[in-house]
Each structure stands twice: as structure tokens, then as C-alpha cells.
A and B are shown apart, each in its own frame.
Chain A
């Protein structure tokens, strides 16, 4: 089996230092919407300068290089034991090269491992066997500030007047955006999973953040709700960094999971503007990055 350690190291470097084009495009568009000379506009201009500098210097866009979340889809013939080892070796090397901050802290003994390797759960790696002959590895880096403002609601919710339907989902998501204020580094991208249990709901709300910004939801009902939520969230005027302004949410992604008759969870993952995600594809001898 081929050793992909160096290629994964390159995936980590790109993810940490090169903001995806679809995100940068939306941030550039957002600058125009803010009042000239406002703190919100200044924040977005600084963000864009930082995006360029990080790309030029191969340095982290954000010092919080986050939880490394890998989704590996492999065809028959690959060993997940070996792939896991390659990922862990690459991650430790990326930390040594300052592409990543040492971020794995033992929760019981409060010790930072120093190399981003914790137990089996850090980095988080999801493996899935697929048909065909292509291996893909997707990486998302999700910082702690935005992770902390994620929220989960169990509907019905009396305080919000939110029932067990899409109208109730709407209220829960708007409440989450308000609670987050500027603490999750707005402008943000929202991942919303309806249903599931407390674990699967949160996981799914992150998984949908691998999708591209602006790709319409295949379900027209959800597509409409996504647009409505982005607009209504922005009408609250929280703005970039919570300074007050036009753009608080860049895009909303919604998906559904099967639920138990007794449970109706709405899980919201809040992704900061430093929406770092990259994909590598291995096909024969070729390795491609997007």
C-alpha cells in the first residue's frame, strides 16, 4: 500500500493556510455591504488581508487550528489502520512545522500532548468504504471559539414557542445565532441537522459543512428555509465580529436524519469565517487537491 504521509501533510498545510475560494469570494462581497469606514467593514478588510498573507506565507489563517476532522473514503484494498497511522504521523509533522498549533489537551489531567495527537478521538477520523478506485481524504479544521457557540435544541421548546416542525427549527436556529453574538467569529456558516440523537445530530451538522457555499439544497423546502434563515439571521444586525453590521451569516446548510418518535433535536454547528476545509483525491499515481 502506498505511503501518503507527505501528501496528507500537504493537505494539512493547504487547509490551515489557504482559505477555500468560495469562502473568500463571499467575504469579499460582504465588504461592499458594510458602511464605509465602519468597524464591521474594517474587520472584513483585516480578515481579507490576513487571508492573503496566510496564503503567501503558508502560515495558519487562524492560530486556533481547531479540531482536525478527517473524512476518509477508501476503495477496497486500503488499510484503515495504516491510513490512520499516516494521518497521525502527518499531523505531528505539521505541528512541528507550525502549520498547526498543538491542540490536544487531556481533559482529565490538563496536559497538552504537544503534537496534536490525543487518544483515538483526536484527530477525529471517519472511515467509509466506497465503490470505485478513488481514495478521498477531506479535512476540516474547526476552531474552539465557534465550536463553543454551537447549540442543540430539543423541541418543543416553550421559551422560544418552537414546535416540532420546520417553523420550530427556524426559531431554534435564530436563537442560536443571537446567543452566539460575535463570539464565534462571524460572519459564519451554519450547519443544521434536524433529528437523530444528541450524538448523531451534532456529527451530521458538521458533516454538511463539507459542502460548497451556495450549492442549493436538493430539497426545495429546505432550500427555502436555508435562504430564509440566512436573511433573517442577518436582519438581527450582529455583524462581522459582533461589531454590528449587515453580514452575520454567509450561508446556511440544513439536513435531516431519522429520529425517534420521542425526540426532535435541532443541532446547530456554527462555523467561523475561517472556514477551513480541503479535499485530496488519490487516483492511481495521481494526487489532486481542491
Chain B
């Protein structure tokens, strides 16, 4: 088990290999479908004008994401009425939906780690080589267990996206994950898909 502290330096990122179990500690930000689309359209491709508190949120995110980690997660949060937020259940969501956006978002903010489940595709893998960055796979559905590693909710942005889609800034201690895509172009998901594809071809030929 490698203990990793966020923000993560390039040397640490390059030392991580597919299959390495890690325990992450530090501050990370949740962001999934709505967030990625919003980041791309508003700040990266700039196809829609910034509105409301967009620019303030953008400025607040920049230092959090530089060398940081984005977590594909739509948590169950208690304390919404009192703003004494607590993560009750917080496993990863399926990452492949962010495939069109992820690599550009990583490069724009210098994000070193993406946490999710199910893995991502060729575009993100290339992004991981360029940034450099890695993909950390958390255990899908292990929501109560993972929520225990969230020690504090530091704040939330864009709550109007809905609780699951907001940007939650959280402090974590020993967040468990496995590296499944590294900065050297290796992807466990690519390997499993190819190997299982060969078996499928044999089964279909029967």
C-alpha cells in the first residue's frame, strides 16, 4: 500500500504503476457529468458565457485542482439544512462518461489524479501521459466504507447542480484505491477488454 499525499508531485505520479494499491490523503474535489460539461463549455472551449458565480468558482477551483485530484462521485450528504455537511455514502460513479472531457480538464487545471470506477479510454490515457497523471480506481458501490475516509467536508460549489452533481471539497485520510491507468501508457482496462474480447470471439464462433 502506497501512501500518497495530495497535492501530488510529478515524480510520485511517474513512480505509480498499474496494479499499485494506494491510500490517498489530503484535499480533493468531487466532480462528475454536469461539472465536466460546465468546465469544458465555460472555461476551456468557452462556447457559453460565464454567468452567475461561474468565475468566482473557477478561481476558487484553480488552486484546489493544481496538482490535485478530482473524484467522480455523487455523494449522499447529510446536514443539508444546517450546512453541517457530512458524507454518508460516497463511492465512485462510472468514469467513462467523462471520456470526452477528462483529458482537457486535466491539462487545463494540471490535475494529477482522477478517481472513479470502470476505467477510461484512449484519450484520457494519453492525457495521463502528457500531464502526467494517473487514474485511481475506487471500489464501485462501497459507499459507506469509502465515506469513512472522508474526514471533513470543507465546502461546496454549485449546489444548484444538485447534491450528486455539485463540487464538494473534501478532506480525506487513507482513501483506498488501485492505480488502473498510469502515466506510462498502461491501462488495466485496455488489457482486460482485449483479453475478454478474444474469449468472446471464440464463444461467438461456437
Q: At the interface, yes or no: A236 with Cβ under 8 Å from chain B? A: yes
Q: At the interface, yes or no: B111 with Cβ under 8 Å from chain A? A: no
Decide yes or no: A181 and B118 within 8 Å by CB, A101-B76, A241-B137 being known contacts.
yes
Interface string of A175-197 (1 = CB under 8 A from B): 10010011101000000000000
Q: Are A39 and B119 in contact (CB under 8 A)?
A: no
Chain A residue with the shortest CB-CB distance to B165: A112
Q: At the interface, yes or no: A47 with Cβ under 8 Å from chain B? A: yes
Q: Are A183 and B143 in contact (CB under 8 A)?
A: no
- Name the B residues within 8 Å of A57 (CB-CB): 144
Q: How large is the interface on B (under 10, 10 to 19, 20 to 34, 35 or more residues)?
A: 35 or more
Q: At the interface, yes or no: B56 with Cβ under 8 Å from chain A? A: no
Chain B residue with the shortest CB-CB distance to A65: B76
Q: At the interface, yes or no: A72 with Cβ under 8 Å from chain B? A: no
Interface string of A56-82 (1 = CB under 8 A from B): 010111111100000000000000000
Q: Are A239 and B192 in contact (CB under 8 A)?
A: yes
The one of A53, A171, A242 that contacts B192, using a Cβ cutoff of 8 Å: A242
Q: How large is the interface on A (under 10, 10 to 19, 20 to 34, 35 or more residues)?
A: 35 or more
Decide yes or no: A53 and B145 within 8 Å by CB, A101-B74, A181-B193 being known contacts.
yes
- Name, among A62, A114, A143, the residue most crowded by chain B CB atoms within 10 Å (CB to CB): A62
- Least Cβ distance of A109 to chain B in Å? 12
Q: Are A63 and B96 in contact (CB under 8 A)?
A: no
Q: At the interface, yes or no: A118 with Cβ under 8 Å from chain B? A: no
The one of B21, B119, B144, B162 that contacts A54, using a Cβ cutoff of 8 Å: B144
Chain B residue with the shortest CB-CB distance to A38: B19
Q: At the interface, yes or no: A235 with Cβ under 8 Å from chain B? A: yes
Q: List 14 A-B contacts (CB under 8 A).
A: A50-B146, A54-B89, A54-B144, A59-B76, A63-B76, A64-B143, A101-B75, A101-B164, A102-B162, A160-B204, A171-B204, A237-B199, A242-B192, A243-B178
Given A59-B89, A61-B141, 5 additional A-B pairs, CB 8 A: A61-B143, A62-B89, A64-B74, A102-B163, A114-B163
A-binding residues in B (CB < 8 A): 19, 21, 34, 73-78, 88-91, 93-94, 96, 117-119, 137, 139-148, 161-165, 176, 178, 180, 188-189, 191-193, 195-197, 199-200, 203-204
B-binding residues in A (CB < 8 A): 39, 42-43, 46-47, 49-50, 53-54, 57, 59-65, 98, 100-103, 105, 110-112, 114, 143-145, 148, 160-161, 171, 174-175, 178, 181-183, 185, 232, 235-239, 241-244, 272-274
